[in-house]
Amino acid sequence: MNKKKIETICIQGGYEPGNGQPRQLPIVQSTTYRYETSEDMGKLFDLESDGYMYSRLANPTCDMVAKKIAAMEGGTAAMLTSSGQAANFFAVFNIASCGDHIVASSTIYGGTFNLFSVTMQKMGIDFTFVDPDCSEDELNAAFKENTKAVFGETIANPALTVLDIEKFAKAAHQHGVPLIVDNTFATPVNCRPFEWGADIITHSTTKYMEGHASTIGGCIVDSGKFDWTKYPDRFPGLCTPDESYHGVTYTERFGLGGAFITKAVAQLMRDLGSTPSPQSAFLLNLGLESLPVRMQRHCSNALLMAQFLENNEKVSWVNYPGLSSNKYHDLALKYLPNGSCGVISFGVSGGRKAAEEFMRNLTLASIETHVADSRTCCLHPASSTHRQMNDEQLAAAGVPADLIRISIGLENIDDLIEDVSAALKKL
């Protein structure tokens, strides 16, 4: 299935029913699995045979959806998690522990920034944040003796910076560590980071992948290309026996294609249990079926909206990678030739007051903190998520008081532009 085009994988990947089996993905709503003998079960615990024992670790419905996402990204193995936060935590924690260091882009999603700079810092993992637009020299200078990985987002949420994946992959590989890319906003429909040198991909499937604002979820995909065995001292968890798991050495038993994900399941899911429900995996799978069609519409709608905003006199600035005036347009043409995403940010002339009034004037776009689903939604951070900050603090945080973030949905673009146009006209 890996060789098929993405539209086909999205429909037919992951689950191939046999004769007389259900056409739609079955929901295996079971915590446990029955075996004939204790020996059969023993082999599962020793990871000597394939199969299921307990749904905290793995469940057939979830695995079939993970297999589809692995094929969409062109990876060798994948694991679903209960949220995007869990996916990013597991992806990093699978290779870094107390005393280690990670290099990360400074414009990553606020939730991930907090996870790294507060919670994982408390666990003894150190982070250096670099400007995604930094030079190769600046990037190389961020590495330390104990660096275990580099982390960035294809299109950052909500800064909309575009990551130069090749630049980050080159630096990571020169220092013998993998590049982890959060591909949530682009989705594999618009960018496949493995083709540009990334080694591990994460997703918040909550966004475009599920696409209908119904289900929180995440995913980790392995390219199978990073050779952990070249650096056994740097990645002992993958290259030496796991005494907590019957002495298995993941790279030996599962090869480069399976080691990372098997370790994440066998250790992290076992101990931390951020498991999605099979119902959630089913809903995610429904979303994936239409992802290529939806992404095309999200992007064409968003480009028309961005162009409209750019030409409106009441709008002071527009940030959308698809606009030819955008700072990241060249990177977007390279990495995202079919479109970027449906999220735009822009400034309303007249600052905070005008932005608040604009929000009140909208009738179709609803006010939400969410992004990336079928319904158009809008957020004015200065009067909601960031309301405790004054104008100076907001500017310093890169969220100026006049900033509006709009996530363009799948409605008819004429209706959306009319709504925004009328809201601006009343100012």
Ligand X SMILES: *Cc1c(COP(=O)(O)O)cnc(C)c1O
CB of 405 to ligand X, least distance (A): 12
- Give the shortest CB-175-to-ligand X separation in angstroms: 24
- Which of 94, 184 has the CB closer to ligand X? 184
Q: How far is the CB of 100 from ligand X (least distance, A)?
A: 21
Work out whether the CA dihedral 254, 260, 261, 266 comes out positive or negative.
positive
Count CB-CB contacts under 10 A for residue 158: 21
Least distance from C-beta 274 to ligand X, angstroms? 10
Nearest distance, CB of residue 202 and ligand X, angstroms: 7
Tokens of 425: 């006209």
Positions that interact with ligand X (CB under 6 A): 83-85, 88, 109, 111-112, 153, 157, 182, 184-185, 204, 206-207, 216, 218
Say if residue 158 is preceded by a cis peptide, omega within 30 of 0.
yes
Tell me the closest approach of the beta carbon of residue 123 to ligand X, in angstroms.
18
Structure token digits, residue 213: 């604002």
Report the residue number, 83 or 106, with the smaller CB distance to ligand X.
Answer: 83
* Listed residue (369, 331, 395, 345) closest to 207, CA to CA: 369
Least gap, CB of 254 to ligand X (angstroms): 27
Instruction: Give whichever of 237 and 278 is closer to ligand X, judged by the CB atom.
Output: 278
**Minimum Å distance from CB 85 to ligand X?**
4
Between CA 9 and CA 12 the distance in angstroms is 5
Least gap, CB of 186 to ligand X (angstroms): 10
| Closer Cβ to ligand X, 112 or 147, answer by number | 112
Contacts with 89 (C-beta within 8 Å, 6 or more apart), sequence order: 115, 120, 274
The least distance separating ligand X from the CB of residue 90, rounded to whole angstroms, comes to 12
Q: Quote the least distance from Cβ 156 to ligand X, whole Å.
A: 7
Supply the DSSP string of 183-202, one letter for each residue. Answer: -TTTHHHH--GGGGT--EEE
Distance between CA atoms of 378 and 166, rounded to whole angstroms? 33
Name the DSSP letter for residue 267: I
Angle, CA of 111, 389 and 427, to the nearest 5°: 105
- Closer CB to ligand X, residue 83 or residue 251? 83
Determine how β-strand 315-319 pairs with β-strand 343-348. Answer: antiparallel
Which of helix, strand or coil describes residue 147?
strand
Q: Looking at beta carbons only, is 234 or 405 nearer to ligand X? A: 405
Question: For ligand X, which is the closer residue by CB, 85 or 105?
Answer: 85
Distance CA 384, CA 401 (A): 11
**Measured from the CB atom, is 332 or 424 closer to ligand X?**
332
Distance CA 283, CA 290 (A): 12
Tokens encoding 263 = 């370790």
Strand arrangement, sheet containing 315-319? 315-319, 343-348, 403-407, 377-379, 366-367
Q: Are 53 and 33 in contact (CB under 8 A)?
A: yes
Is residue 75 within 8 Å of 195, Cβ to Cβ?
Answer: no
Which residue, 323 or 371, is less far from ligand X as judged by CB? 371
Q: CB-wise, 96 or 216, nearer to ligand X?
A: 216
Tokens representing 189 are: 């429909």
Residue nearest ligand X, CB atom distance:
84
- Closer to ligand X at the Cβ: 89 or 143? 89
Angle at which helices 278-289 and 60-73 cross, to 10°? 30
